[in-house]
Amino acid sequence: MRSERGLLIVLSGPSGVGKGTVRKALFNQEDIQFQYSVSATTRNPREGEVNGVDYFFKMREEFERMIANNELLEWAEFVGNYYGTPIAYVEQTLQQGKDVFLEIEVQGALQVKKAFPEGVFIFLAPPSLSELKSRIVGRGTETEDVIHNRLTVAKEEIEMMDAYDYVVENDEVQLACDRIKAIVVGEHCRRERVAKYYKQMTEVE
Ligand SMILES: Nc1nc2c(ncn2[C@@H]2O[C@H](COP(=O)(O)OP(=O)(O)O)[C@@H](O)[C@H]2O)c(=O)[nH]1
Ligand SMILES: Nc1ncnc2c1ncn2[C@@H]1O[C@H](COP(=O)(O)OP(=O)(O)O)[C@@H](O)[C@H]1O
């Protein structure tokens, strides 16, 4: 028995911890049952990024129009650019009974938690702060100023860890993927068990 609506799975955590890497690795696996929600952003595409696949790339005015029209489930300004989750896709997909996977930064995840407290909130944590710094520097996509800003934000984000249901360490990408998959399976089992007993109790009454 599966609950009718899908699960909303939110993967978040500090910049550079490996959210994008883990998400891509997860979605390359054949046994993945959840649907990825493509975000909108005003940041410039990086080399190899495709509009509609990696992000919906928008001008600032277009993004602000989406905010004004309530087209976003959440949005945040992160290191100078807007990022947001189009709500229509999330709602339709959950309604079809499919699980939706968001990979978003911490401010956005906290907004989603308010709107969807029944979601599954997973914080991806680095093995250490020094390893986090090496990953941001090693990625080589940002200038020194941006790296500095991202590290400052990362320290504030780590303080929000307690607001999440699960903390997954990203020591190795495959291990992090396995932990996330185990969490999702566990959450389905838990919810199905609760629904089963709830149904039995109402039948007894
Ligand atoms: N709030 C929010 N954050 C997002 C969304 N999409 C992506 N992000 C986050 O924005 C941050 C910056 O993303 P990006 O520029 O792609 O850089 P990178 O993920 O650090 O390589 C990351 O922490 C993403 O997880 C979104 O729809 N909403
Ligand atoms: N488990 C890991 N071990 C070592 N390096 C990693 C791991 N996960 C990600 N990385 C590297 O860390 C950098 C940041 O990863 P990225 O996925 O862009 O982070 P985020 O999306 O959280 O900002 C990238 O260079 C990536 O290859």
Ligand 1 touching residue 153 (CB < 6 A): no
**Ligand 1 atom at minimal distance to the Cα of residue 85:** 27
Tokens representing residue 44 in the block: 């410039």
Does residue 196 fall inside a structural domain?
Answer: yes
What is the torsional sign of CA 157, 161, 165, 169?
positive
Nearest-ligand number for the alpha carbon of 38: 1
Full-model pTM = 0.93
> Within a domain: residue 75?
no
Q: Are 40 and 23 in contact (CB under 8 A)?
A: no
Nearest protein Cα to ligand 1, atom 7? 104
- Has residue 111 been placed in a domain? yes
Task: Kindly provide the ipTM of the predicted complex, given to two decimals.
Answer: 0.96
Q: Which atom of ligand 1 is nearest to the CA of 109?
A: 1
Kindly state whether residue 45 falls inside one of the protein's structural domains.
no
What does the pLDDT profile of the chain (205 residues) look like in tens digits? 445 899 999 999 998 899 999 999 999 998 888 999 999 999 999 999 999 999 999 999 999 999 999 999 999 998 789 999 999 999 999 999 999 999 999 999 999 999 999 999 999 999 998 999 898 888 777 788 888 888 888 888 888 899 999 999 999 999 999 999 999 999 999 999 988 988 888 887 6
We report the CATH number of the domain holding residue 139 as 3.40.50.300
Instruction: State how many domains the chain has.
Output: 1
